[in-house]
Amino acid sequence: MSSVWMYGQYSGYKFGQSLAGFTVEAADGSVGHVDRQQDQPGMQHLVVDTGLWKFGRSVLIPAGVVTAIDTEAQTVKVAPPREEIKAAPRFTTDSETADPDYLSAVGDYYLSLQPTPST
């Protein structure tokens, strides 16, 4: 399994591609819009403005949960449903993206959502 902090091989992401302004969609509806992104290899993520939700806030979404990028429609599709994204560790400031404890908590949260392969 690839890292939660890297775009999947079949996500449609091209290194250096700007996703700012793209709509982020889960299977059960819109999550918000990409405000900014981090493209550092091994630490790729999106900061998404969830202004659609009551008391809109931003969430940090690791690139590994991105399932598809449609540049024509300017959409980013993510695997977790909206409620699971809402329940993710709160993102409040950009300084958190340099905090190993916060990043570990976010990574662990999203990894816990992925189905475990059966043997």
Q: Comparing 4-13, 64-73, 107-116, which segment has the lowest mean pLDDT?
A: 107-116
Maximum alpha-carbon separation in the chain: 43
| Cross-strand bridge partners of residue 30 | 25
Using the predicted structure, report yes or no on whether residue 87 has a pLDDT greater than 70. Answer: yes
pLDDT in tens, 19-50: 999 999 999 999 999 999 999 888 999 999 98
Angle at CA of residue 50, ends 7 and 53, nearest 5°: 140
Q: Is the pLDDT reported for residue 54 higher than 70? A: no
- Classify 103 as helix, strand or coil: helix
Instruction: Using CB atoms within 10 Å of the CB of residue 55, give its burial: 0 to 12 exposed, 13 to 18 middle, 19+ buried.
Output: exposed
Question: Judging by DSSP bridges, how do beta strands 45-49 and 58-62 pair with one another?
Answer: antiparallel
Instruction: Kindly report whether the global pTM for this prediction surpasses the value 0.85.
Output: yes
Q: What percent of the chain has pLDDT over 90?
A: 66
Q: DSSP state, 10?
A: T
Domains of the chain and any CATH numbers: 23-112 (2.30.30)
pLDDT at 1 over 60: no
